[in-house]
Amino acid sequence: MRADAVRGHLDGLLLAVLESGPLHGYAIIAAVQDRSGGALELRTGTIYPALNRLERLGLLRSSWQSSGERRRRCYELTDAGRRGLATERTAWQEFTTAIGSVLDPAVSPRPAT
């Protein structure tokens, strides 16, 4: 899948994989790749700026956790992040419905709200 395919949807992807609990950066990358069946491969240079931005916006919080000798920054959703994820999901459903109705005219679109 093209790298630019996630453009505009990265926030939703990151929030969604963090819904089940805190993860560190590489685990977030692995979760997106796993949940997409390998179709989406995010790079560290893509997700860390996005994670930092989402944290500045109050959608995520982070903390340092130790794993043996290693320290990792773990990210988790805030209450605002959970609300943001709900908004992202609604927007995604509306987007896919609209695009689907154009690409497959046999599918009748839902009325716009």
Confidence band, pLDDT 50/70/90 cuts, at residue 6: confident
Is pLDDT above 70 for 112? Answer: no
Contact (Cβ atoms closer than 8 angstroms) between residue 84 and residue 15: yes
What's residue 69's pLDDT?
85
What's residue 107's pLDDT?
65
What's residue 1's pLDDT?
59
Task: Give the residue extent of every domain in the chain.
Answer: 3-94
Q: Which residue has the higher pLDDT, 5 or 45?
A: 45
Q: Report the CATH architecture of 3-94.
A: Orthogonal Bundle (1.10)
3-state SS class at 61: strand
Is pLDDT above 60 for 22? Answer: yes
Q: Each residue of 42-75: pLDDT tens digit?
A: 999 989 999 999 999 999 999 998 878 889 999 9
Tell me phi and psi for residue 34, to 5 degrees: -65, -50
Is pLDDT above 80 for 13? Answer: yes
- 81: closest CA among 41, 21, 34? 21
Q: Each residue of 66-110: pLDDT tens digit?
A: 878 889 999 999 999 999 999 999 999 998 999 999 998 886 666
For residue 7, CA distances in Å to 21, 52, 109 come to 24, 17, 24
- Distance (Å, whole) CA 57 – CA 14: 14
- This prediction has a pTM of 0.85
